[in-house]
Structure 1
Amino acid sequence: MPLDLEEQEQLDQLKAFWQKYRNLITGVVTAALFAYAAYSGYQWWRTSQAAIASQLYETMVVAINKGDKDQTLRAADDLQKQFSGTPYAAMSSLVAAKIASDAGDSAKAMDYLRWAAKNSSDQGYLALAKLRLTAQLIEQGSEKDFAEADTILKEKSVAGFEALWLERRGDWYLAQKNIAEARKSYEAAWVQLNQAKEFPEEARRLLKVKLDAVGGVAQ
């Protein structure tokens, strides 16, 4: 059926529009397809990485149950090197730090904690690594250790860990016999801890002991 004049005019306009903008339209569509393909590929890669990392972490758990310290630490090292972007890498580093510490190798334990504190993709593990690292630095107690702990504690707390950050700052002051500042930090931590009901009761009991030791009042 022949087109009427108005339809023919619309068709001509469409052809003219396509001739003028077809390269741009084709480019945008192609870019969108590439972006989607890249995103899909990345999601597949992440899932694949996590699956392999979980298997390696299971190997580490088996080694722990066997009491094989060397194999446990090797698995943690492999997770750091090959799967640093997965939560398993930080989780295994925290476990390896505990095992190294129990074996009397504090330097190696702190290496694992420093790695997790810098590289963890999971905010919870990141916070735990920083808190455990600062605790060990405070315990070692050299001027350099206090300075490193101070630098970490000056960073913004990971959300949800504000109370523990304040408590660790109190520990930092107390180790340097600054009782007044330690009390302030512990009291501030106590307020935060009571607002964060998800923390276990043991955390409150431990903080109360610290508060009592510096003459604070925990209610």
Structure 2
Amino acid sequence: MPLDLEEQEQVDQLKAFWQKYRNVITGVVTVALFAYAGYSGYQWWKTSQAAAASQLYETMVAAIGNGDKDLTLRAADDLQKQYGGTPYAAMSSLVAARIALDAGDSAKSMDYLRWAAKNASDKAYLALAKLRLAAQLIEVGSDKDLVEADAILSEKPITGFEALWSERRGDWYLAQKKISEAKTSYEAAWKQLNDAKEFPEEARRLLKVKLDAVGGVAQ
């Protein structure tokens, strides 16, 4: 059926529009397709990485159960190198740090904590790594270690860990025999703990002991 004049005019306009903008339209569609393909590929890669990391973490857990320290630490190292973007890498580093510390290797323990404190993708693991690293640095207590601990504790506390940040700052002051400043930090931590009901009772008892030691009053 032949087109009437109005329809023919619309067809001609559409052809003219396509001739003028086809490169732009094709480019936009191509970019969109590549973006979708990239996103799909990234999601597949993330799933694949997580699955592989999970298997390696299970190997680490089995090694812990068998008391194989070398295999445990090697699995943690592999998780850092191969699957550093997954939560398993930070989780394994925290575990490896404890195992290294229990074995008397404080330096290696802190290396694991430094890695997690820098690379953990999960905020909870990031906070735990920073707090545990600060605690070990304070315990060692050299000027260099106290400076590193101070740098960590000077960062903005990770949400949900404000009380522990204040408590660790109190530990930092106490290590330098700054009793008044330690008391202020412990009191701040106690108030924050009372505002954060999800913290376990053990955390409150430990903080209470520290607070009593510097002459503070829990309220």
**TM-score, with length taken from structure 2:** 0.98
1:88-139: CA deviation from partner (whole Å, max 9, x where unpaired) = 1110010001001001011111111111111111111110000000000000
Tell me how many residue pairs correspond in the alignment: 219
Paired residue type of 1:213: A
2:25 is the counterpart of 1:25: yes
Residue 204 of structure 2: aligned partner: 204
Q: Structure 2: how far apart are the matches of 1:97 and 1:61?
A: 14
Paired residue type of 1:17: F
Residue 54 of structure 1: aligned partner: 54
Q: Structure 2: how far apart are the matches of 1:173 and 1:13?
A: 78
Residue 65 of structure 2: aligned partner: 65
Moved over 4 A (4+): none
Q: Structure 2: how far apart are the matches of 1:75 and 1:194?
A: 39
Paired residue type of 1:79: L
- Secondary structure in 2 matching 1:145: helix
**TM-score, with length taken from structure 1:** 0.98
Residue 110 of structure 1: aligned partner: 110
Residue 76 of structure 1: aligned partner: 76
Q: Structure 1: how far apart are the matches of 2:78 and 2:109?
A: 16
Paired residue type of 1:83: Y
- Secondary structure in 2 matching 1:181: helix
Q: Structure 2: how far apart are the matches of 1:143 and 1:92?
A: 29
Residue 157 of structure 1: aligned partner: 157
1:146-204: CA deviation from partner (whole Å, max 9, x where unpaired) = 00000011111111111111110011001111111111111111111111111111111
Paired residue type of 1:18: W
2:5 is the counterpart of 1:16: no
Q: Structure 2: how far apart are the matches of 1:90 and 1:174?
A: 29
Q: Gaps spanning 5+ residues in structure 1: where? A: none
TM-superposed CA distance for 1:7, in Å, is 1.6
Q: Gaps spanning 5+ residues in structure 2: where? A: none
Paired residue type of 2:61: V
- Secondary structure in 1 matching 2:210: helix
